[in-house]
Amino acid sequence: MTSSFDNLTTVQFQRRMKPAALHIYHRIWPGCTVEDLREQGLKVHVLDKEFGIDALIHFASGQWMSIQEKYRTHDAMKYGDFTQEYMNGEGTQHESPGEWFTLGAQLYFYGWTNEVETDFEKWVILDVARYKLLVERGGGLARMGTKRQNQQHGRASFYAIPLERLQPAFLYAHGTGNSKAKGSPKSVKPSEKV
């Protein structure tokens, strides 16, 4: 039985691109398994609902890390930005704090699809703690990016942050000019400070 949730274009897009994201994770962390916390549709797992954690990546050693994911279409690549949701339903009676205020994941996968939506042409995995500190030291979201309002999905506001400003928080990158090969770690010098 499918719910109206399953018919949303955003949900269908996410499900269509999930195998491509899993392929990237398996290349970076061979032998890992991924536990998707969004599998139950409207019965959202508490870690996703309260802390912005879409999945847990379990390593062969028994360790795990939490990850938030955002997939964007190929045409959004032209903006060269990372979009950080700020408020949900901004300006409505349903206004509430968005992902920025609840993001508790350790990692953040952010990727842009190829034209036919079969793989990711460009992607980064951010260290969320480094990302948050980078924004704090940069003077906050308003100084790091430009605030915009989504008119299509729930009137969420977000900050569009130029991707190059977030480079110190990249753990892995592909297609951004920061990596030699898909899935290779971005080297960060110990002297670099976020």
| pLDDT tens-digit readout, 159-175 | 999 999 999 999 999 99
* Buried/exposed code over 66-92 (b: 16+ C-beta within 10 A; e: otherwise): bbbbbbbeeeebeeebbbbbbbbebee
What is the pTM assigned to this prediction?
0.86
Distance (Å, rounded) from C-alpha 101 to C-alpha 124? Answer: 21
Q: Are 50 and 102 contacting, i.e. CB atoms less than 8 angstroms apart?
A: yes
| pLDDT tens-digit readout, 85-139 | 999 999 899 999 999 999 999 999 999 999 999 999 999 999 999 999 999 999 9
Distances 40 to 35, 51, 65, 166 between C-alpha atoms, Å: 12, 17, 20, 32
Structure-block tokens of residue 160: 């569009």
